[in-house]
Copies of this chain bind each other. A is one copy, B any other.
Amino acid sequence: MRSHYCGQLNETLVDQDVTLCGWVHRRRDHGGVIFLDMRDREGVAQVVVDPDTADAFAEADRARSEYVLQIKGRVRPRPEGTTNANMPTGMIEVLAFEVNVLNTAATPPFQLDEHGKVGEETRLKYRYVDLRRPEMIDRLRLRSRITHSVRAYLEKNDFLDIETPILTRATPEGARDYLVPSRTHAGQFFALPQSPQLFKQLLMVSGFDRYYQIAKCFRDEDLRADRQPEFTQIDLEASFVEERDIMGLTEEMIRQLFADVLDVTLPDFPQMTYADAMRRFGSDKPDLRIPLELVDVDDLLGDVDFKVFSGPANDENGRVAALRVPQGARLTRKEIDEYTRFVGIYGAKGLAYIKVNDRSQGLEGLQSPIVKFMGSVVEQVLDRVGAEDGDIVFFGADNARVVSEAIGALRVKLGEDLDLYTQEWAPLWVIDFPMFEADGNGRLSALHHPFTAPSCSPEALKANPEQALSRAYDMVLNGTELGGGSIRIHDQAMQQTVFEVLGIHDDEAREKFGFLLDALQYGAPPHGGLAFGLDRLVMLMTGGRTIRDVIAFPKTQSAACMMTDAPGEVSPEQLKELNIRLRAKAAAAE
Return chain B residues, CB-CB under 8 Å to A564: 168-169, 198, 515
Query: How far does the Cβ of A497 sit from chain B's closest Cβ, in whole Å?
Result: 16
Residues A242-289 near B (CB distance < 8 A)? 242, 245
Name the interface residues of A133-182: CB closer than 8 Å to any CB of B.
Answer: 137, 140-141, 143-144, 147-148, 151, 155, 160-170, 176-182
**A131 and B560 within 8 A (CB):** no
Within the complex, the shortest CB–CB distance from A123 to chain B, in Å, comes to: 12
Within the assembled complex, what's the spacing in Å between the Cα atoms of A140 and B569? 39
Contacts of A526 in B (CB 8 A): 1, 68, 102-103
CB distance from A259 to the nearest CB of B (A): 18
In the bound complex, how far is the Cα of B579 from the Cα of A500, in angstroms? 34
Tell me how many residues of A have a C-beta within 8 Å of chain B.
127
Binding-face segment, A204-212, A358-366, A375-383: A204-212
- Asked if B202 and A128 sit within 8 Å, CB to CB, the answer is yes
Residues of B within 8 A of A141 (CB): 160
A583 contacts partner chain B, Cβ-Cβ < 8 Å: yes
Residue A565, interface by CB 8 Å: yes
Q: Are B578 and A581 in contact (CB under 8 A)?
A: no
Complex: how many Å from CA A108 to CA B522? Answer: 6
Q: Which residues of B contact A555 (CB under 8 A)?
A: 165, 167
A181-197 CB contacts (< 8 Å) to partner B = 181-192
Question: A566 contacts the other chain (Cβ, under 8 Å)?
Answer: yes
Q: Are B160 and A558 in contact (CB under 8 A)?
A: no
Q: When the two chains form their complex, are residues A167 and B129 in contact, meaning their CB atoms are under 8 A apart?
A: no
Q: How far is the CB of A534 from chain B (nearest CB, A)?
A: 9
Cβ–Cβ < 8 Å partners of A558 in chain B: 184-185
B515 touching A565, Cβ below 8 Å: yes
A105 to B178, CA, bound (A): 35
Decide yes or no whether A312 CB sits under 8 A from chain B.
no
A585 within 8 A of B: yes
Q: Return the contact of A561 from the options B165, B524, B551, B579 (Cβ within 8 A).
A: B165
B183 touches A220 (CB 8 A): yes
Q: Is there a chain B Cβ closer than 8 Å to A85's Cβ?
A: no
The reply to whether A105 and B522 contact each other, CB–CB distance below 8 Å, is yes
CB nearest to A151 among chain B residues: B151
Closest chain-B Cβ to A501's Cβ sits at a distance in Å of: 21
Q: A103–B523 contact, CB under 8 A?
A: yes
Within 8 A of B (CB), among A11-38: 21-23
- Is B240 touching A1 in the complex (CB atoms < 8 A)? yes
Q: How far is the CB of A128 from chain B (nearest CB, A)?
A: 4
CB distance from A386 to the nearest CB of B (A): 45
* Contact indicator A160/B144 (Cβ below 8 Å): yes
Inter-subunit contact A170/B568 (CB<8 Å): yes
Q: In this complex, what residue of B is CB-closest to A41?
A: B209
A68 to B245, CA, bound (A): 19
Interface assignment of A216: CB less than 8 Å from any CB of chain B: yes
Given A103-B490, A580-B581, CB of A187 within 8 Å of CB of B40: no
Q: How far is the CA of A577 from the CA of B572 in the complex (A)?
A: 20
Residue of B with least CB distance to A582: B187
Determine if A23 and B523 form an interchain contact, defined as CB atoms under 8 angstroms apart.
yes
For the complex, give the distance between the alpha carbons of A67 and B526 in Å: 12
Is the beta-carbon distance between B188 and A569 smaller than 8 angstroms? Answer: yes
Contact of A567 among B21, B132, B188 (CB under 8 A): B188
| Interchain CB contact under 8 A, B166 and A553 | no
Q: Would B566 and A167 count as touching, CB distance under 8 A?
A: yes
Please, how many angstroms separate the alpha-carbon atoms of A188 and B161 in the complex?
A: 35
Q: Which of B140, B169, B222 contacts A162 (CB 8 A)?
A: B140
A128 contact set on B, CB distance < 8 A: 202-203, 205-206, 519, 522
CB–CB A185/B131 < 8 A: no
Determine whether A293 belongs to the interface, using a CB cutoff of 8 Å to chain B: no
Are A170 and B553 neighbours in the complex by a CB distance under 8 Å?
no
Which one of B39, B143, B239, B560 contacts A185 once the chains associate, using CB atoms below 8 Å?
A: B560
Which chain B positions have C-beta within 8 A of A208?
Answer: 41, 131, 137, 140
Which residues of the partner chain B approach A160 to less than 8 Å between Cβ atoms?
Answer: 140-141, 144
In the docked arrangement, what's the CA distance between A392 and B229, Å? 62
Known: A184-B558, A515-B565. A162 touches B570 (CB 8 A): no
Measured in the bound complex, the distance between the Cα atoms of B38 and A525 in whole Å is 13
Interchain CB contact (< 8 A) of A144 among B161, B232, B586 = B161
Residues of B within 8 A of A144 (CB): 155, 160-162
The smallest beta-carbon distance between A210 and chain B, in angstroms, is 8
Q: List 9 A-B contacts (CB under 8 A).
A: A131-B203, A164-B553, A168-B564, A169-B565, A183-B220, A183-B559, A184-B222, A188-B567, A515-B564
Across chains A and B, which 9 residue pairs bring their CB atoms closest together, nearest first? A105-B523, A187-B586, A579-B586, A131-B206, A188-B567, A169-B566, A186-B586, A182-B567, A66-B523
Not counting A137-B208, A186-B586, A188-B569, a sample of 14 additional A-B residue pairs whose C-beta atoms are within 8 angstroms of each other reads A1-B240, A1-B245, A66-B522, A102-B526, A131-B206, A144-B162, A163-B216, A176-B183, A180-B567, A182-B567, A189-B568, A515-B565, A580-B583, A580-B586
